[in-house]
Chains A and B, each alone.
Chain A
Amino acid sequence: METLTKETKQMEKRKTTRLSGSEAVIQSLLHEGVDLIFGYPGGAIMPIYDALYDYHEQLHHVLVRHEQGATHAAQGYARVTSKVGVCFVTSGPGATNAVTGIADAMIDSTPLVVISGQVTSPLLGTDAFQETDVVSITKPITKWNYQVTHAEEIPEAIAKAFYIARSGRPGPVVIDITKDAQFGQLDFSYSPIKHIRSYTPVPKVNPDNIEEAARLINLSKKPMALIGQGVILGKAEKELVAFLEKSGMPAAWTLLGLSALPSDHPQNVGMLGMHGHYGPNVKTNEADLIVAIGMRFDDRVTGDVNKYALNAKVVHLEIDPAEINKIIYADVPVLGDVKESLPLLTEKVTSNSHQEWLNEFNACYKIEHQKIINKEINPIKEKMTMGEVINKVSGVYNDDSIMVTDVGQQQMMAARYFKFKQSRSVVTSGGLGTMGFGIPAAIGAAMGQPDRPVCLFVGDGGFQMTIQELGTISQTKAPVKMVLLNNSFLGMVRQWQELFFDKRYASTELTNPDFQTIAKGYGISGEKVTARENLDEAIERMKQHQGAYLLEVAVEKEGNVFPMVQAGASVSDIRLE
């Protein structure tokens, strides 16, 4: 028996190829269908880069200018394609520079596989040159991570990494590979992983809970759906529309749920939360039922949880069991992929039209339009506003481009004023709120969807956090349309200082460089607009220009984003001014 096993093993060995660990990394990536990597070389990952050299036709590598840029670019790529974003970084500072992007991907459920080089295994734990314990550092900010110290482990580690990153609720995975494992030899064969004993990516839907959820929906007079990124990640946009149109309930979205439902859908009542729309916020406390679909009740959505959804029962459709009851108690939790649970629910709900209830949202919208929206997009003031610029750009692109944002006022304005016709059109840093996300994420988005226009909205603060990635744009010719909304302030912080800190503008005013000169230095075309009468033509020139473009617009210095639910306030206490 023993000999037989040995013989079988021998036979299996014949089917394998003798490879170096580094080449095994490349081969494994090819088996996973990877064709694009964002990265930055360095000492401890040089053998992998050397192996990559022979595969440059199958496996395109984008050389970023900083590892943070690699992770955000991979995020942008993953978000618009639904594929796994892949990064190569070296040990030590290479890996620590990637930490921000990994944390961002974790909190926003973006599938990434980050492969980091590590010092040779006999030197582990000795404070060797460029050694950091990246596995410990990234443990709380990865869905899974693993350190490879032997070449033979590489195929399985990478297979597990891809399976974990993309299955269930997606997230980032770090595979740290010591230099000796990269140099080592192995008998290579690759089999994708489809099951891990300790891991249940997609819980089975419980039919009893569907039944109970449908009963609550059918009884409800004022139901409201909250759409999260789970709909997009689950590719359940059609199932969502079918559910909404049968149940007739109004639907509001979280920042990351944006674009799951077309902007002009009659049941789309707008954005939830701190800078969301007036209707969905105040109506949260009038609704008798909340149907949360693939969302996690972030504090920016709920405001004070003790004053949230006060009259409502809660049905929570969610793939991640740890989100159930984490923030808001779910009267009926429906675990599972919304792609599966939504149709089951749609089947059980009775056809309804909540027209009167919807009209209440429309009435709120009218108030908001008069008090805020109209002033923002048709300002009478001399200075241009962010909302006006964003609204125009959206229109010029026929409301059908990919919107990438940085973080801050322009992000909230973009979420409020940009319009969408199709899903997977938004790339923004929601949970982590990472300034500097915008430029590299837009590069990744442009590479993931080369046939769709990519419009980036970025402030003068965030622009300078990853300004070096203009070099990546220059080298790759990524056709990113950058709209720099320049108010010479860290606008969102300044807004809070104005409202809550007696206008004490501590360290928020920026003395900026000449951004056009910088762009020119990188060989990127652009222009600066300071007067409203030049805006339309400038946007048109940006659209007509082949390749990347920096459209800088000098906007009102002290503009504010409204409405606003103050941190810690109830959604009912949303401020219109």
Chain B
Amino acid sequence: MINQEFTLSIYSENHVGLLNQITTIFIRRHINIESLTTSESAIEGIHKFTIIVNTTREQVEKLRQQIDKRVDVIKAFVFTNDEVIHQEIALYKVPTEALLNSNEIERLVREYGARILEITSEYTVIEKTGHKFETQELFEKLDRFGVSQFVRSGRVAVTKLSKELLTNYLKKLDKEETILD
């Protein structure tokens, strides 16, 4: 089986040490986490982890099962890239001098749908949201003007499904209809 990129969406209780509980399962199987974000979900008190891995379908399914098994994890889902709408945010710090010396940086900002967040006499901070290849491409173009800092967030993703998997799952839990297979 070939490796591909998967997005794991993990919903959990919001306790101290949950991140450790989840990441330890990746460590055990020697699978590298490509990116990770964590935040409150739409449901109060439920936390969401979005984790990206490059692995096989078989491996990611086993990972999902073992994550699901943790007592404080409510439910874990696996998606391929075409099943989710996903974005990352990148920040670029360039010298203001470069911005003023030519139109090129401004042109790139417009072309890539980026925006300027802050301009000081020394530096300018540019922000771009998009897929990884887009933020990477902009980095490579800006770097000709000397990017002094570049940072990209982990992926955030929502599903393309019309039904909400977690909400449905929680409803089932209330009705105790949890046939899991």
Give A contacts to B, CB under 8 Å. 135-136, 139-140, 143-144, 147, 164, 196-200, 203-206, 209, 320-322, 324-326, 333, 335
* A22 CA to B20 CA, complexed, in Å: 28
Instruction: Judge if B107 is at the interface, Cβ distance under 8 Å.
Output: no
Point out the residues of chain A lying under 8 angstroms from B180, CB to CB: 200, 203-204, 321, 335
- Residue contact B179 to A326, C-beta cutoff 8 Å: no
Contact partner, B62, options A139, A196, A197, A325, Cβ 8 Å: A325
Interface string of B149-181 (1 = CB under 8 A from A): 000000000000000000000100100111111
- Residue contact B68 to A321, C-beta cutoff 8 Å: yes
Known contacts A139-B24, A196-B71, A198-B71; is-contact A206 B66 (Cβ 8 Å): no
**Which chain B residue lies CB-closest to A199?**
B71
Point out the residues of chain A lying under 8 angstroms from B24, CB to CB: 139-140
- Residue contact A326 to B71, C-beta cutoff 8 Å: no
Instruction: Judge if B39 is at the interface, Cβ distance under 8 Å.
Output: no
Instruction: Judge if B41 is at the interface, Cβ distance under 8 Å.
Output: no
Contact partner, A200, options B17, B66, B178, Cβ 8 Å: B178
- Residue contact B179 to A321, C-beta cutoff 8 Å: no
Instruction: Judge if B16 is at the interface, Cβ distance under 8 Å.
Output: yes
Interface string of B54-67 (1 = CB under 8 A from A): 00000001100110
Interface centre among A135, A136, A321, A322 (most CB of B within 10 A): A322
Known contacts A200-B180, A203-B181, A204-B179; is-contact A322 B68 (Cβ 8 Å): yes
**Which chain B residue lies CB-closest to A173?**
B71
- Residue contact A198 to B72, C-beta cutoff 8 Å: yes
Q: How far is the CB of B73 from chain A (nearest CB, A)?
A: 6
Q: How far is the CB of A205 from chain B (nearest CB, A)?
A: 8
Point out the residues of chain B lying under 8 angstroms from A196, CB to CB: 71
- Residue contact A136 to B17, C-beta cutoff 8 Å: yes
Instruction: Judge if B144 is at the interface, Cβ distance under 8 Å.
Output: no
Known: A147-B16, A326-B62. 16 other contacts (CB 8 A): A135-B17, A139-B20, A139-B24, A140-B28, A144-B72, A164-B71, A197-B170, A198-B74, A203-B181, A204-B176, A204-B177, A204-B180, A322-B66, A325-B61, A325-B62, A326-B65
* A320 CA to B62 CA, complexed, in Å: 12
Q: How far is the CB of B47 from chain A (nearest CB, A)?
A: 11
Instruction: Judge if B13 is at the interface, Cβ distance under 8 Å.
Output: yes
* A164 CA to B69 CA, complexed, in Å: 12
Point out the residues of chain B lying under 8 angstroms from A203, CB to CB: 178-181
* A139 CA to B25 CA, complexed, in Å: 10
Known contacts A324-B181, A325-B62; is-contact A139 B72 (Cβ 8 Å): no
Q: How far is the CB of A475 from chain B (nearest CB, A)?
A: 36
- Residue contact A139 to B181, C-beta cutoff 8 Å: no
- Residue contact A322 to B65, C-beta cutoff 8 Å: yes
Interface centre among A136, A139, A198, A203 (most CB of B within 10 A): A198
**Which chain A residue lies CB-closest to B63?**
A322
Contact partner, A198, options B16, B73, B181, Cβ 8 Å: B73
Contact partner, B65, options A136, A140, A199, A324, Cβ 8 Å: A324
**Which chain A residue lies CB-closest to B21?**
A139
- Residue contact A206 to B179, C-beta cutoff 8 Å: yes
* A356 CA to B71 CA, complexed, in Å: 46
* A139 CA to B27 CA, complexed, in Å: 12
Q: How far is the CB of A201 from chain B (nearest CB, A)?
A: 9
Known contacts A196-B71, A320-B69; is-contact A209 B181 (Cβ 8 Å): yes
Q: Which 8 A-B pairs have the closest CB atoms?
A: A322-B65, A198-B74, A322-B69, A144-B71, A203-B180, A140-B24, A199-B71, A204-B179
A sample of 21 cross-chain residue pairs with beta-carbon separation below 8 angstroms, ordered by A number, consists of: A136-B20, A139-B17, A139-B20, A140-B28, A143-B71, A144-B72, A147-B16, A164-B71, A198-B13, A198-B71, A198-B73, A199-B72, A200-B178, A203-B181, A204-B178, A320-B69, A321-B181, A322-B69, A324-B65, A324-B181, A325-B61
Instruction: Judge if B50 is at the interface, Cβ distance under 8 Å.
Output: no
**Which chain B residue lies CB-closest to A144?**
B71
**Which chain A residue lies CB-closest to B66?**
A322
Instruction: Judge if B12 is at the interface, Cβ distance under 8 Å.
Output: yes
Give B contacts to A, CB under 8 Å. 12-13, 16-17, 20-21, 24, 28, 61-62, 65-66, 68-69, 71-74, 170, 173, 176-181
* A326 CA to B28 CA, complexed, in Å: 14
Point out the residues of chain B lying under 8 angstroms from A198, CB to CB: 12-13, 71-74
Q: How far is the CB of A337 from chain B (nearest CB, A)?
A: 13
Contact partner, A321, options B13, B20, B69, Cβ 8 Å: B69
* A203 CA to B178 CA, complexed, in Å: 7
Q: How far is the CB of B60 from chain A (nearest CB, A)?
A: 12
Point out the residues of chain A lying under 8 angstroms from B68, CB to CB: 321-322
Point out the residues of chain B lying under 8 angstroms from A209, CB to CB: 181
Interface centre among B28, B72, B179 (most CB of A within 10 A): B179
Q: How far is the CB of B108 from chain A (nearest CB, A)?
A: 45
- Residue contact A333 to B181, C-beta cutoff 8 Å: yes
- Residue contact A321 to B65, C-beta cutoff 8 Å: yes
* A206 CA to B65 CA, complexed, in Å: 18
**Which chain B residue lies CB-closest to A140?**
B24
Q: How far is the CB of A371 from chain B (nearest CB, A)?
A: 39
* A204 CA to B180 CA, complexed, in Å: 7
Point out the residues of chain B lying under 8 angstroms from A197, CB to CB: 13, 74, 170, 173
Point out the residues of chain B lying under 8 angstroms from A333, CB to CB: 181
Point out the residues of chain A lying under 8 angstroms from B62, CB to CB: 322, 325-326
* A196 CA to B173 CA, complexed, in Å: 10
* A322 CA to B20 CA, complexed, in Å: 19
Point out the residues of chain B lying under 8 angstroms from A143, CB to CB: 71
* A205 CA to B178 CA, complexed, in Å: 9
**Which chain B residue lies CB-closest to A203?**
B180
Point out the residues of chain A lying under 8 angstroms from B72, CB to CB: 144, 198-199
* A335 CA to B178 CA, complexed, in Å: 11
* A324 CA to B66 CA, complexed, in Å: 11
Point out the residues of chain B lying under 8 angstroms from A206, CB to CB: 179, 181
**Which chain A residue lies CB-closest to B13?**
A198
* A321 CA to B73 CA, complexed, in Å: 14
**Which chain A residue lies CB-closest to B174?**
A197
Q: How far is the CB of A335 from chain B (nearest CB, A)?
A: 5
Q: How far is the CB of B70 from chain A (nearest CB, A)?
A: 8
* A36 CA to B22 CA, complexed, in Å: 34
- Residue contact A335 to B181, C-beta cutoff 8 Å: yes
Q: How far is the CB of A81 from chain B (nearest CB, A)?
A: 24
Point out the residues of chain A lying under 8 angstroms from B71, CB to CB: 143-144, 164, 196, 198-199
Point out the residues of chain A lying under 8 angstroms from B12, CB to CB: 198
**Which chain B residue lies CB-closest to A135?**
B17
